[in-house]
Amino acid sequence: MDIALELPDVERAALAHDLLASLDGPVDANATKAWEAEIAQRLDDLESGKTPTIDADEALRRLDARLRPR
């Protein structure tokens, strides 16, 4: 453990990342492909105008209204 603490910041961060990632188990290739397809579809919908958009001020107003205690 002491050896790891002596590593430079960047190397300690990479080691910490790798250790945490190892707790997740193996990557599910089917899930990765499904997410990539979903992302591509959502981008297509945005670019084609199929999905409506709102400006940031309106989005924040709506969030504030939903989160405000009643």
Give the pLDDT confidence of 2-52 residue by residue, as tens digits.
Answer: 899 999 999 999 999 999 989 988 888 899 899 999 999 999 999 999 999
In the numeric block, the tokens 């939903």 are attached to 66
Q: Provide the pLDDT for residue 29.
A: 86
Amino acid 30: pLDDT: 93
- State the alpha helices, DSSP H only, in the chain: 2-5, 9-22, 29-48, 56-67
**Cα–Cα distance, 55 to 6 (Å, whole number):** 48
| CB neighbourhood size of 12 (10 A) | 13
